[in-house]
Amino acid sequence: MKHPPTNRDAEPHGAFAAARPDAARTADFGFQAVPEADKAHRVGAVFSSVAPRYDLMNDLMSGGMHRLWKTFAVELCALRPGERVLDVAAGTGDLALKLWPRVMPAGEVVLADINEAMLLRGRDRLLDAGMPAGAIRCDAERMPFVSDHFDCITIGFGLRNVTRKENALREMHRMLRAGGRLIVLEFSRVHRALAPLYDAYSFGVLPLLGRLVAGDAASYRYLAESIRVHPDQNQLRDLFVRAGFERADYFNLAAGMVAVHRGFKLG
């Protein structure tokens, strides 16, 4: 299997050096403000805890709808055989499993995730399905790949967890070739008519499900809180534009509970 070129050995410079967390600044961790330098560890603890039951919980929490949302996101990638695609925050590999058949036999799929437990499950699921893919553990804010390499980058339900989203978006823009596209699938702002019901579900039912199924209520409370502090549809589109993406747009799914953002690197 071909491995993508990386700049892992390079000294931090440019965007890499600037991406180091600042101990004096804070980041949101759900509804808490924590030192920027601590957020990635806390998010890491959440995903190490939920990894064994992650796929089951996704089905239970969304009634299986996350599968349709992921299929829609992959459709928007408009992939062709032979293309190179990077799935950032790949987790247990749901998106990568759908991406792989669209670019093979001559293409390339790489999974990247900051969390070893999630990444290993993702890599193993692809291998079990006969879909070998590269898997690299790294932070979305400091990715070890060369510039102008990928035709498409996806990130599903991952951006919300990244400490400085603007750094991750700039990184993804850097790694795309001209004409490449970024697809972000993420929780977003639900239509206001549904907000009370959605709040009752996410702050009442989700932590309870988390406790019963994964033995961890706190991580699912974090999930509900992190959705509330994540940029809404228009704010995220603005972040795309600031990171250099063009023709940025989005598609609401399930009344805005989830949105898929798309942006292109044109030059």
Q: Please count the other Cβ atoms lying within 10 Å of the Cβ belonging to residue 91.
A: 26
Nearest distance from residue 91's CB to ligand SAM, in Å?
Answer: 2
State the Cα–Cα distance between residues 228 and 216, nearest whole angstrom.
20
Site residue total, ligand SAM (CB under 6 A): 20
Applying the rule CB under 6 A, the residues between 100 and 129 that interact with ligand SAM are 113-115, 118
Whichever of 88 and 248 has its CB closer to ligand SAM, that residue is 88
Best CA proximity match to 174, nearest among 134, 143, 138: 143
Q: Evaluate whether 153 touches 177 at the Cβ level (below 8 Å).
A: no
Q: Is 145 in the site for ligand SAM (CB under 6 A)?
A: no
Q: Is 202 in the site for ligand SAM (CB under 6 A)?
A: no
Using the rule CB under 6 A, give the single segment among 11-19, 25-33, 75-83, 157-165 that binds ligand SAM: 157-165
State the Cα–Cα distance between residues 62 and 114, nearest whole angstrom.
24
State the Cα–Cα distance between residues 165 and 16, nearest whole angstrom.
14
Using CB under 6 A, pick the residue from 94, 108, 151, 171 that binds ligand SAM.
94
Nearest distance from residue 2's CB to ligand SAM, in Å?
Answer: 22
Q: Please count the other Cβ atoms lying within 10 Å of the Cβ belonging to residue 192.
A: 10
Q: Evaluate whether 90 touches 66 at the Cβ level (below 8 Å).
A: no
Using the rule CB under 6 A, give the single segment among 83-91, 100-108, 171-179, 214-222 that binds ligand SAM: 83-91
Site residues for ligand SAM per CB under 6 A: 40, 43, 47, 89-92, 94-95, 113-115, 118, 139-140, 156-158, 161-162
